[in-house]
Structure 1
Amino acid sequence: MGLFDSTTIQQLERGLSGAANEQKAISQNIANADTPGYKERRASFKQSLEEASAEQGLQAHKTNAKHINFSSGNKDSYINEKTQEMYHANGNGVDIDKEMSELAKNQLYFNAVTDRLSGKFGSLKTAVRGGS
């Protein structure tokens, strides 16, 4: 087992990758907010992260048989095109206010994962230095 083979580090890496895919989809939506016929796109990385967790054998511990079972979604981070909503007469399906909100939400998530990853590497650094 390598130094960076920690399940936590791998999950955080996947989280950052998913947030980057979400950022790309949101940026494309914002850039095409006035493009006729453009449909909103979304990355589905949260489901991908759940699936990756399940593949690695991460199991939640149920303390009661009545607890809800945990499930997972898609394996890869796909960008899905939404076809039902139309916000402009030209067939464009992008709501710029919603996109800006999603952008801020994704940035907060990315920052939180980055902070956690930094803490994990800080712990490794402390361990390598012998606790000093």
Structure 2
Amino acid sequence: MKFIDSNHSQMLGQAMNAYALRQRITATNIANADTPGYKRHQVQFESELQKAQETNGVAGMKNVTGAIEETNENVLLEDEMIEMTDTQIRVQLVTRSLRHHFQMLRFGITGVNR
């Protein structure tokens, strides 16, 4: 069923996975803020998504996953809290997009718009 499991829905699913990973990594950064020698980790997703779009188009975007990388930066609690808030906003956006996608599918199948 290509219309249910479309490139769009698969890419949004990958985005949800990447944002869940980003939230875990941010929480780990916050938990280790006072650990001597600990360096901040981050999840790259949007830049990888953009690269995939430029090279393979929309079809390549569905295979992009978040990549964890260690930076040479120390953890700043304020920056991590901003990162957590930004990620939560992105999760809400992807959730709304998925909800809309499935509402349109339901409307197409049933003809009832709720």
TM-score category (smaller protein):
0.7 to 0.9
What does residue 67 of structure 2 align with?
78
Kept after mapping to 2: 8 A contact 1:15/1:49 = no
Q: Find runs of 4+ consecutive structure 1 residues off by over 4 angstroms.
A: none
Higher helix share: 2
What does residue 43 of structure 1 align with?
43
Structure 1 position 120, deviation (Å)? 0.6
User: Using the alignment, how far apart are the partners of 1:120 and 1:76 within structure 2?
Assistant: 21
Structure 2's unaligned 5+ residue stretches are none
Correspondence list, 1:1-132, <5 A:
1-54=1-54, 57-58=57-58, 76-83=65-72, 85=73, 93-132=74-113
TM-score (norm 2): 0.83
Kept after mapping to 1: 8 A contact 2:18/2:65 = no
TM-score (norm 1): 0.72
Structure 1's unaligned 5+ residue stretches are 60-71, 86-92
Aligned residues: 110
Larger radius of gyration: 1
Structure 1 vs Structure 2 CA RMSD: 2.3
The secondary structure found in structure 1 opposite 2:58 is coil
